[in-house]
Homo-oligomer: A and B are copies of this chain.
Amino acid sequence: MKGALREKIASEITLSDYPGKTIRKWREELEITQHELSKFLELSPSVISDYESGRRKSPGTKTVRKIVDALLELDKTRKSSLYFAEPDNLNEIILSMKDFPVGLSPSIFLKKIQGVNLSKAVPLVRNIHGYTVLDSLKTITTLRSSDYWKIYGWSTERALVFTGVKFGRSPMVAVRAHPLKPAMVVYVRPERVDPLAVKLAELENVTLVRTQLSKSEVVSRLEAL
């Protein structure tokens, strides 16, 4: 599984306007200090800072690769590895999951699940390349933040469908906190939707959707796609 994350980080750094900021993002996400990283790479700590601060604007592929590999290696060889934890009770958390061969337009996706768009400030343009249906409570309580990336499968351009939602606050907070962001978040029969959730969605440019269909109905409709 290393490959997918390695590629994700590498492409994100390479395609970023500010590679240094992206390096920093992932270093912090993996809870590695500049000093640790520089020690591993046998470099002066100031070098890392120079990259992250943008003094070096366009690091070479060799540099990017060794930084990515160092980050993953440092994370791996650590007592509480964030991204190399053992596979756990994912099957209880993930109720259904799929990736589409071709991207679906968000409006078509919405119709299929009779969804209502709550985040009107977010333009409905990001195509949906898959979905993951999650038990909201179990996700929040048993999934370590560090395992969140596993629910993204092979694209973050997907819909995260949360069931068992009360106010819809925690799921959006989780999305906000984690570096990987979905294109869409769907709440299945929420009791009500907290305005903060909508605000967070708009901040993250994530489409927030509510559907009043039942959990099983949503799952069967999605699996029929």
Residues of chain A touching chain B, judged by Cβ–Cβ distance below 8 Å, are 1, 3-4, 6-8, 10-16, 19, 57-65, 68, 87, 90, 94, 97-103, 127, 129-130, 132, 150-151, 153-155, 157
Closest to A12 in B: B7
In contact, A61 and B58 (Cβ under 8 angstroms): yes
In contact, B94 and A150 (Cβ under 8 angstroms): no
Closest to A6 in B: B15
In the A-B complex, list the 7 residue pairs whose CB atoms are closest, starting with the nearest: A154-B154, A58-B60, A58-B62, A7-B11, A11-B11, A99-B99, A10-B11
In contact, B154 and A99 (Cβ under 8 angstroms): yes
In contact, A65 and B1 (Cβ under 8 angstroms): no
Q: With A10-B14, A127-B1 in contact, is A153–B58 under 8 Å at CB? A: no
Collect the chain B residues with CB atoms within 8 Å of residue A99's CB: 97-99, 130, 153-154
Most buried by B among A10, A14, A103, A132: A14
| Given A90-B101, A101-B132, 9 further pairs, Cβ under 8 A | A1-B103, A4-B155, A4-B157, A10-B15, A13-B14, A14-B65, A15-B65, A57-B62, A98-B99
In contact, B60 and A59 (Cβ under 8 angstroms): yes
Collect the chain B residues with CB atoms within 8 Å of residue A98's CB: 97-99
Q: How far does the Cβ of A149 sit from chain B's closest Cβ, in whole Å?
A: 10
In contact, B150 and A102 (Cβ under 8 angstroms): yes
Q: How far does the Cβ of A55 sit from chain B's closest Cβ, in whole Å?
A: 14
Q: How far is the CA of A88 from the CA of B3 in the complex (A)?
A: 30
Q: How far is the CA of A129 from the CA of B153 in the complex (A)?
A: 9
In contact, A157 and B15 (Cβ under 8 angstroms): no
Q: How far is the CA of A1 from the CA of B157 in the complex (A)?
A: 9
Q: With A87-B102, A99-B99 in contact, is A16–B153 under 8 Å at CB? A: no
Collect the chain B residues with CB atoms within 8 Å of residue A59's CB: 60-61
- Picked from B1, B14, B153, the residue with its CB within 8 Å of the CB of A154 is B153
A-B contact pairs, 6 of them (CB 8 A): A1-B103, A1-B127, A6-B15, A8-B11, A61-B61, A97-B101
Q: With A6-B15, A90-B102, A150-B102 in contact, is A63–B58 under 8 Å at CB? A: yes
